[in-house]
A = this chain, B = another copy of it.
Amino acid sequence: MWSTIGELGEFGLIERVTARFPGTGDVILGPGDDAAIVAASDGRVVATTDLLVENRHFRRDWSSAEDVGRKAAAQNIADIAAMGARPTALLVGFAGPPELPVAWAEELSEGLRAECAAAGAAVVGGDTVAAGEITLAVTALGDLGGHPAVRRDGALPGDVVAVCGRLGMSAAGFALLEAGVHDADDAERALAGRAPERGAGSGSGTAGPDAARSSAGEAPDWPDCLNEHRRPRPPYTDGPGAARLGARAMLDISDGLVQDLGHIARAGGVRIDLDSADLVPESALCEAAALLRELGRTDRTAREHMLFGGEDHALAAAFPPEAELPPQWCPIGTVAAPGADGPRVTVDGAAADARGWEHFR
């Protein structure tokens, strides 16, 4: 009927996609008026915004439209959770070329809806405009429920630093996608193509294409890293949970663990000492790191992916030493008074560079 969003038109597109968005108990007025109205139970609202631009933050040949919608929602909702707040609502600005298929826009909306549903939030408004490249502008709102927010600046010497969520997997998945590895067959082909060099110089005991499969011949775990890059699963409820556990500082890890903990260190005027032995990589990450080495893409170890990878959308927090952390919070270090070199992050006693990545550069 309408194959492109240009044919469907702005109002037609808005009508089709907003029909997908159910309300929640927090939605006082949903899409369709000049603005939405959302409950802010304790007289405060938490708000954050992020932009995702095609070919910078996602690629249509790497991620489905639903993946893109889920990720756009997830990374914003994670910022709300990282304040210790419960997400309530999303507003979504969408810019795209008129020749974009309506089906793509609808699947994107489905991804936004599904991720909001997983977090207990609702899409309450937005805007659609024509543009040369696809851009998603997502704003998330949240509710602190009467509790103080957990900011970046409250860490105290003696606190325990802990993380909740998966580290390094998104970055490893990104590196694999960059290497043209979208699934196990791609990996096999890529390794086969590199076989002579590996035989000549790698010194690795792993037989070539087997690295794409798994040493036991079973289905490999490393494709989980692709999934983690395409659809991060931030631990939403553990944000407010951390606030209840007494977290003194918290943030969402988006630019890499070491770089983001640097914000907590500087904001609190403290040193954060990490023990890399406490960073235990999942088998999927170990396999991905091995595969990336085999492919000649990066020598990063699994632990280095955990320390420096980006787009994790895990939570990192500083808790008082007496806090009883549930198992999803993994202690990885401690907070100390700063040394002569000021607030910073160390790994196994050595100053760590923030090798996360900056946009624009």
A43 at the interface (CB under 8 A from B): yes
Known A-B contacts A11-B358, A49-B93, A360-B98; A44 and B34 likewise in contact (beta carbons under 8 Å): no
A39 at the interface (CB under 8 A from B): yes
Q: Are A13 and B137 in contact (CB under 8 A)?
A: no
Measured CB to CB, the nearest residue on chain B to A94 is: B51
Point out the residues of chain B lying under 8 angstroms from A9, CB to CB. Answer: 358-361
**Residue in A13, A51, A98, A251 with the greatest tally of chain B CB atoms within 10 Å:** A51
Known A-B contacts A37-B45, A92-B49; A131 and B137 likewise in contact (beta carbons under 8 Å): no
CA distance A85 to B45 in the complex (A): 15
Measured CB to CB, the nearest residue on chain B to A80 is: B35
Known A-B contacts A6-B360, A47-B91; A252 and B125 likewise in contact (beta carbons under 8 Å): no
Measured CB to CB, the nearest residue on chain B to A40 is: B40
The number of times this chain is found in the oligomer is: 2
Nearest-neighbour CB distance to chain B for A132, whole angstroms, equals: 6
Nearest-neighbour CB distance to chain B for A146, whole angstroms, equals: 11
From the candidates B32, B45, B144, name the one contacting A141 in the complex (CB within 8 A). Answer: B45
Point out the residues of chain B lying under 8 angstroms from A131, CB to CB. Answer: 51, 53, 56, 133, 135
CA distance A53 to B137 in the complex (A): 12
Q: Are B359 and A149 in contact (CB under 8 A)?
A: no
Nearest-neighbour CB distance to chain B for A133, whole angstroms, equals: 6
From the candidates B37, B45, B126, name the one contacting A83 in the complex (CB within 8 A). Answer: B37
12 contacts between A and B (CB under 8 A): A9-B359, A28-B44, A34-B79, A34-B82, A35-B47, A35-B83, A35-B85, A37-B144, A39-B44, A47-B125, A49-B92, A93-B137
Top 7 nearest A-B pairs by Cβ distance?
A: A137-B137, A40-B40, A35-B48, A34-B82, A49-B91, A139-B139, A51-B93
